[in-house]
Amino acid sequence: MIYGRRPRQLLVVWGVSILLIVLIYWLEISAPALHDLLLPFYWIILAVALFLTWRWLRARSRKDRRGHDRRRADRRDQGSTLS
pTM above 0.85, yes or no: no
Checking if the pLDDT of 8 tops 60, the result is yes
**pLDDT score for 80:** 56
Q: What is the pLDDT of residues 29-83, one digit of tens each?
A: 999 999 999 999 999 999 999 999 988 887 655 555 555 555 555 555 566 566 5
DSSP 8-class letter at 5? B
Average pLDDT over residues 5-17: 89
**pLDDT score for 66:** 56
DSSP string across 50-63: HHHHHHHHHHTSTT
Q: Count CB neighbours of 10 within 10 A.
A: 17
**pLDDT score for 79:** 60
- C-alpha 82/C-alpha 61 separation (Å) is 41
**pLDDT score for 7:** 84
